[in-house]
Amino acid sequence: MTADRPEERTLALAGLFQALALVRALATKGQADNTAYAASLASVLRIDAPDTLAVFGSISDVRLGLQTLVNQIEGDQADAMITRMALTVLRIERRLMADGPRIEHLQQGLRDAQRQAEHFGSPDHASVIARLAGLYAETVSSLRPRVLVTGNAQMLNQPALVERIRAALLAAVRAAVLWRQIGGTQWRLLLQRKQILMLARGLQTRATLGQG
């Protein structure tokens, strides 16, 4: 039997909520935390990482996601748009993983994006963002239900911003896949909220202290 990995699942959830917090910021303000954005895109490209922490680089790299996760669970500062997107991404992930040809296309595209990121020296270079956005459009956006992103209509008409949003959505899907792979289920999300909150706060403390 596989050992239970609640802390790793909490990290994966933080990765999911970080990506969606970035999507929300981009859609409503036209900009987002650059450090968190680069970290989220980097997680998409680490497809052969040995463990959950290695996917995200460090706990500090999902600091925004941990805070967003805490806010969503506590309720006082919960964001309905982020909640809706998270539930949709979790449903889409199951359909994606059941589609072999789609997964194969996605994996090949991610390897191409890896090479681009190595060439340009950055996971958030415009060319890498464009490739990841294209992959999202080719493999995820046609699945149902669609992730509905609402925000400033004028900003959402800007092609470069739409690419940044789609690349961040792909990071959210990546985190959802990881969460499911290490035992995440929607029942756990509902029934273990107190444990997830405690773990998220503990990880926040470790990030602040620079541990991991």
pLDDT band per the 50, 70, 90 thresholds, residue 211: low
Model pTM? 0.95
pLDDT for res 212:
65
For helices 100-120 and 126-139, the axis angle rounded to 10 degrees is: 180
Question: Which tokens sit at 74?
Answer: 């506590």
Q: In whole angstroms, what is the distance from residue 202 CA to residue 206 CA?
A: 6
pLDDT for res 209:
84
Question: Which tokens sit at 206?
Answer: 């470790």
Summarize the chain as % helix, strand, coil (round to 5): 75, 0, 25
For helices 63-74 and 34-45, the axis angle rounded to 10 degrees is: 100
> Where in the chain are the domains?
6-206
pLDDT for res 1:
36
Residues 6 or more apart in contact with residue 171 via CB below 8 angstroms: 15, 18, 19, 22, 40, 41, 43, 44
In CATH, the architecture of 6-206 is Orthogonal Bundle (1.10)
